[in-house]
A and B are shown apart, each in its own frame.
Chain A
Amino acid sequence: MKVGRVAGTVISTINIPLLDEHRLLLCDVEDVNGKPSGYTIAVDVVDAGVGDTVLILDEGSSARQILGLDHGAIRAVVVGIVDQLVVDGEMRQLT
């Protein structure tokens, strides 16, 4: 899993049927110090909002397991909203 920050949302009407029922979040992937290293578009299952620091799962079969699917073209899923990060003994309270 990766830590990231929700930067925005992606709105789409025409998509593969599987994505009809899911909200898409555009997330900056960050390193432990909060420095961005690229982005990903992830399916939201925890009702995260813009600005939230989140836990992003980036692996296909785990993503399908969380969504209860046998198969499907989903890889990145926002699976948690981070409250606190402790890095090298330094604490960052996020909520």
Chain B
Amino acid sequence: MQLGRVLGSVVATEKAPGLEGIRFLIVQPLDKGSRPEGETLVAADAVSMAGPGELVYFVASREAAEALPERFVPVDHAIVGIVDDVHVEEEE
């Protein structure tokens, strides 16, 4: 799982079967210090509660589909939790 920051949402009316009712959010992946790292992506919101500005963590690939109520849906990233706090030990 990786950390990410929700930047916005994506609305699509015409979707592949199995994606009905799923919210899609634009996510900026972050490094462990919560700094942006890599390109933004679109992730399904498996907690149905994440919103813009929030720090979240997400899964990729096959596990993303596993996070949703219906399995084997065409999804490659899914938000599985909202982060309250990250404790990282200071680097020596």
Contact = CB atoms under 8 A, between A and B. Distances in A.
Instruction: Determine the main DSSP class of B at the interface with A.
Output: mixed
A16 to B, nearest CB: 5
Interface in A39-90: 39-42, 50-51, 60, 71-76
Contacts of A42: 1
Q: For this complex, into which size category does the number of interface residues on chain B fall?
A: 20 to 34
B89 A73 contact: no
The 10 closest A-B pairs by CB, nearest first: A15-B81, A73-B67, A8-B88, A41-B1, A12-B81, A11-B85, A73-B66, A14-B82, A39-B32, A73-B63
Interface of B: 1-3, 31-32, 46-47, 49, 57, 59, 61-64, 66-67, 71, 78, 80-89
